[in-house]
A and B are shown apart, each in its own frame.
Chain A
Amino acid sequence: MKNPKHLLWLIIILTLLAVIIDLPKDYRINFSLGKLKIDQTISSPQLNINLGFLKINRDLNIKEGLDLSGGTHLVLQADMKDISSDKRDIALNSATEIISRRVNLYGVSEPIVQSAKAGGEYRIIVELPGVKNIDQAIELIGQTAQLDFREFKDSTASSFIIPTIDNTNTTGVTGKDLQKAQAEFDPQTGAPVVAFTMTDDGAKKFEAVTKKLLNKPLAIFLDEIPISWPTVNAVISKNGVISGNFTTQQTKQLTLQLNAGALPVPIKIVEQRNVGATLGRESVKKSLVAGVIGLLIVAVFMLLNYGFMGLISVVALIIYTLLSIAIFKLIPITLTLAGIAGFILSIGMAVDANILIFERMKEEERSGKSKKTAIELGFIRAWSSIKDSNISSLITCAVLYYFGTGMIRGFALTLAVGVLVSMFSAITVTETLLKNFYRDLNSNNK
């Protein structure tokens, strides 16, 4: 790849790819140019990679942190005193999984539920974008629903009698036997129903119960409250359906409760934050404006200071911005306010490498070297300080990432991406552009 023409093409292709990835979602272009009318919605592509072992399938939207989208941030601490030390990791993971399931069923878009061990503490971090009501969120996470399938004591009772705890006996089938529940619609009537799947054990028990109660009512209790008492129409083992006069809202709710199950460890809340969405949206807008203005000022400064070379560094800077945003979308990095600040900061630092090189070129030229030699020496001699200084920045990023949580991590990650991409843009991109477009470099005299 020594040929500058080849490298130029590589850079152009990379930039185009980045532009495609960077496209906003469902952005409508609508304008007319004389007779030509354009009305099209453009969108960044879905990522669909299937390499056997590697399956990636997701959209390419920028993930916004809570401080931008607004929502609820909770840190839960698991009380592990009753759990033997070798089982604590498992308990934490399964608690995380259950909470994650509850949150997903609740329909929060892009929630984050992750376990975190800090010192001897076992914690779960929950971020619920868009959820403003902390009560609701806590209830959702903390509740443990007890599901119980019961039969009437009086075996001749019809389904017109309202079941209670007193007039029924448990069949022995409970929520523990349930693998999962799902809100669906009856294929015939279109009425909202809850479909459920039993565990292997539960399926055996359930088969026996339904055989016994064929054509008789089976009462389903949730936390000792009857929610439905359908008549058993057929022997059911693995898969069944709960129907009743449900609304879609109710089946969703019921599914949620059925899936909730019990947490393996008691948890308590040690940190909670509620961020208003308007505050976040305002910040995004402001930071974007700040970023664009920052970029413009830097561009003007580079042009004034370095002329044609400055122009090239501005092009490199634009490529840098496009590539970085593409990487943010690909990894994906959750963008927080601090992250945006980190990125805008990295724009300033990205030109540093260029400045180092250009200043070096000026110096070499002053000491009597030809322009061509000066440019080449500029790249070679500036390299050691670019390398050392950027590695020290990366060390800081790594330490920040290792010790930090949430916001600080986001910042460290954006800054690290910035540093790495800037090395590519400031050195490879600038050098290639110079070699291709700078006339003095292509002629051998002066």
Chain B
Amino acid sequence: MIDIVGKKWWYFLISGLVIIPGLLSLLVFGLRFSIDFTGGTLLEIQSSKINNSEDVRKIIQDNKIELSSLTKTGSDTYILRTKAIDNNQNVRLQADLSKKYGEVKELRYETVGPTIGSELAKKALMSLIVTSFMIVLYIAWSFRTVPKPYSSLKFGLCAIAALLHDAFVLIGLFSIFGYLFKVEVDSLFVTALLTVIGFSVHDTIVVFDRIRENLRRMPGKSFSFITNESIIQTMGRSLSTTFTVLLTLFSLLLFGGETIRWFVVALFIGFISGTYSSIFNAAPLLVLWEEKAGFHKQSG
């Protein structure tokens, strides 16, 4: 019999090994927010004649545009990030660039006002809080039949702990990615984060549901035994499901194209973390809490 609950501290340690570096990176480097959050302008231009990005910088400065970054993205494509500029400023800039380099193709032009950006951040945070709150409420209600002395609220809160685990794993890793690979956090990332949260709870509930059922079926056994039993029983399903989801995500990763690559990466990481946290964190945490409460001592 595999003892997962007994080795819970090991599993918490593994989670910590992923989360702590991520959080440190978050504190030191923060996240690379895209213009979706910060507001600003993103310009992608293409010209084979540009041979020195310093010249481009100068043209931008001459136009009195505050440039925050200029990145070469392909053999002849460049991405410019600037403070928000309006269309007239853009037209003038394009004209100046064309004067120097001949035809300069504008591939992308996006401007987000600063208010819109901060709204997105606020909305993302609100969605996270509201989702967590609603799910705690739902679980507390749905698990109200859990036999005494166990409380359904604890089930709900432990599901949220697993949810936060996954959120931190994802945000922390993307902070590291941002530092290493210049990966930006945009509105697609927010979508990925919230999806992962939904899945995480989905997965945790499957395990908790089995605990609820087994509590009724095995009245004499200790809580930690029942929990361990439930994790083992649902393990096959958890792995199969995650495996199929990862298969579809893998297909998206390989064939889905550049634009959604990091979105898919975020989902990929999130689903692995979601499965891990529901098996190795949520349920063992519940045991820890119930044992601390002193209702049932471990008896085997």
Q: Say if the beta carbon of A421 comes within 8 Å of chain B.
A: no
The reply to whether B138 and A391 form a contact with Cβ atoms under 8 Å apart is yes
Most B Cβ at <10 Å: residue of A118, A290, A355:
A290
Nearest-neighbour CB distance to chain A for B229, whole angstroms, equals: 12
Nearest-neighbour CB distance to chain A for B82, whole angstroms, equals: 14
Interface size of B by CB at 8 A reads 67
Contact of B87 among A135, A270, A384 (CB under 8 A): A135
Give the interface size class of chain A. 35 or more
The reply to whether A351 and B244 form a contact with Cβ atoms under 8 Å apart is yes
Contact of A294 among B127, B199, B252, B260 (CB under 8 A): B252
The reply to whether B240 and A385 form a contact with Cβ atoms under 8 Å apart is no
A286 to B260 Cα, complex, angstroms: 11
CB neighbours of A144 from chain B (8 A): none
A338-B191, A351-B241, A389-B205 known; A272 vs B109 contact (CB < 8 Å): yes
Most A Cβ at <10 Å: residue of B107, B119, B252, B254:
B252
A391 to B127 Cα, complex, angstroms: 17
**Chain B, range 175-218, C-beta contacts under 8 Å to A:** 187-188, 190-191, 194-195, 197-199, 201-203, 205-206, 209-210, 213
Contact of A396 among B131, B243, B255, B263 (CB under 8 A): B131
Q: Say if the beta carbon of A427 comes within 8 Å of chain B.
A: no
Nearest-neighbour CB distance to chain A for B94, whole angstroms, equals: 11
A290-B256, A293-B251 known; A363 vs B123 contact (CB < 8 Å): no
| The stretch of A18-26, A150-158, A233-241, A341-349 that contacts the partner chain | A341-349
A283 to B261 Cα, complex, angstroms: 11
The reply to whether A276 and B130 form a contact with Cβ atoms under 8 Å apart is no
Q: Say if the beta carbon of A407 comes within 8 Å of chain B.
A: yes
Q: Considering only CB atoms, which chain B residue lies closest to A293 in the complex? A: B251
Q: Considering only CB atoms, which chain A residue lies closest to B257 in the complex? A: A286
Q: Considering only CB atoms, which chain B residue lies closest to A383 in the complex? A: B209
CB neighbours of B255 from chain A (8 A): 286-287, 289-290, 293
Q: Say if the beta carbon of A92 comes within 8 Å of chain B.
A: no
The reply to whether B202 and A392 form a contact with Cβ atoms under 8 Å apart is yes
A388 to B244 Cα, complex, angstroms: 20
The reply to whether A407 and B188 form a contact with Cβ atoms under 8 Å apart is yes
The reply to whether A287 and B191 form a contact with Cβ atoms under 8 Å apart is no
Question: Secondary structure at chain A's binding surface: helix, strand, loop or mixed?
Answer: helix
Question: Secondary structure at chain B's binding surface: helix, strand, loop or mixed?
Answer: helix
| The stretch of A2-10, A45-53, A197-205, A398-406 that contacts the partner chain | A398-406
Contact of B195 among A302, A345, A388 (CB under 8 A): A345
CB neighbours of B249 from chain A (8 A): 345, 348
The reply to whether B108 and A276 form a contact with Cβ atoms under 8 Å apart is yes
Interface string of A311-353 (1 = CB under 8 A from B): 0000000000000000000000000011001101101110110
The reply to whether A298 and B256 form a contact with Cβ atoms under 8 Å apart is no
Q: Considering only CB atoms, which chain A residue lies closest to B112 in the complex? A: A271
**Chain A, range 109-125, C-beta contacts under 8 Å to B:** 118-119, 121
The reply to whether A345 and B109 form a contact with Cβ atoms under 8 Å apart is no
A119 to B249 Cα, complex, angstroms: 36
Q: Say if the beta carbon of B286 comes within 8 Å of chain A.
A: no
The reply to whether A271 and B191 form a contact with Cβ atoms under 8 Å apart is no
The reply to whether B130 and A415 form a contact with Cβ atoms under 8 Å apart is no
The reply to whether A337 and B259 form a contact with Cβ atoms under 8 Å apart is yes
Most B Cβ at <10 Å: residue of A121, A269, A279, A399:
A399
Contact of A404 among B123, B246, B250 (CB under 8 A): B123
A408 to B128 Cα, complex, angstroms: 14
Contact of B247 among A271, A348, A362 (CB under 8 A): A348
A303 to B98 Cα, complex, angstroms: 59
A341 to B192 Cα, complex, angstroms: 10
Most A Cβ at <10 Å: residue of B233, B245, B263:
B245
Q: Say if the beta carbon of A196 comes within 8 Å of chain B.
A: no
Q: Say if the beta carbon of B236 comes within 8 Å of chain A.
A: yes
The reply to whether B245 and A348 form a contact with Cβ atoms under 8 Å apart is yes
Q: Say if the beta carbon of A215 comes within 8 Å of chain B.
A: no
A283 to B195 Cα, complex, angstroms: 21
A411 to B134 Cα, complex, angstroms: 20
**Chain B, range 45-80, C-beta contacts under 8 Å to A:** none
Q: Considering only CB atoms, which chain A residue lies closest to B253 in the complex? A: A290
The reply to whether A75 and B191 form a contact with Cβ atoms under 8 Å apart is no
Interface string of A267-283 (1 = CB under 8 A from B): 00111111110010011
Nearest-neighbour CB distance to chain B for A137, whole angstroms, equals: 10
Nearest-neighbour CB distance to chain A for B124, whole angstroms, equals: 8
The reply to whether A270 and B113 form a contact with Cβ atoms under 8 Å apart is yes
A135-B87, A274-B109, A347-B248 known; A403 vs B187 contact (CB < 8 Å): no
A273-B109, A351-B241 known; A403 vs B127 contact (CB < 8 Å): yes
The reply to whether B108 and A269 form a contact with Cβ atoms under 8 Å apart is no
A342 to B267 Cα, complex, angstroms: 10
Nearest-neighbour CB distance to chain A for B130, whole angstroms, equals: 5
Nearest-neighbour CB distance to chain B for A307, whole angstroms, equals: 14
Contact of B244 among A273, A274, A355 (CB under 8 A): A355
The reply to whether B123 and A403 form a contact with Cβ atoms under 8 Å apart is yes
CB neighbours of B138 from chain A (8 A): 388, 391-392, 395
Q: Say if the beta carbon of A105 comes within 8 Å of chain B.
A: no
The reply to whether B260 and A297 form a contact with Cβ atoms under 8 Å apart is no
Q: Say if the beta carbon of B169 comes within 8 Å of chain A.
A: no
A338-B263, A359-B240, A392-B138 known; A385 vs B206 contact (CB < 8 Å): yes
Contact of B198 among A134, A272, A381, A396 (CB under 8 A): A396
Q: Say if the beta carbon of B103 comes within 8 Å of chain A.
A: no
Q: Say if the beta carbon of B3 comes within 8 Å of chain A.
A: no
Q: Considering only CB atoms, which chain A residue lies closest to B241 in the complex? A: A352
Q: Say if the beta carbon of A262 comes within 8 Å of chain B.
A: no
A281 to B267 Cα, complex, angstroms: 23
**Chain B, range 104-162, C-beta contacts under 8 Å to A:** 106-113, 115-116, 119, 123-124, 126-127, 130-131, 134-135, 138-139, 142
Closest 7 interchain pairs by CB? A396-B198, A348-B245, A270-B113, A294-B248, A385-B209, A294-B251, A286-B257
Chain A interface residues (CB < 8 Å from chain B) = 67, 75, 77, 118-119, 121, 134-135, 138, 269-276, 279, 282-283, 286-287, 289-291, 293-295, 297-298, 301-302, 305, 337-338, 341-342, 344-345, 347-349, 351-352, 355-356, 359-360, 362-363, 381, 384-385, 388-393, 395-397, 399-400, 402-404, 407-408, 411, 415
Q: A293-B254, A348-B247, A396-B198 are in contact. List 13 more A-B contacts (CB 8 A).
A: A271-B111, A274-B106, A287-B256, A293-B255, A341-B260, A345-B245, A347-B248, A348-B248, A355-B237, A356-B237, A385-B206, A393-B202, A404-B191
A–B complex contacts, Cβ < 8 Å, 7 sampled: A273-B109, A276-B107, A348-B247, A392-B205, A393-B201, A399-B194, A404-B123
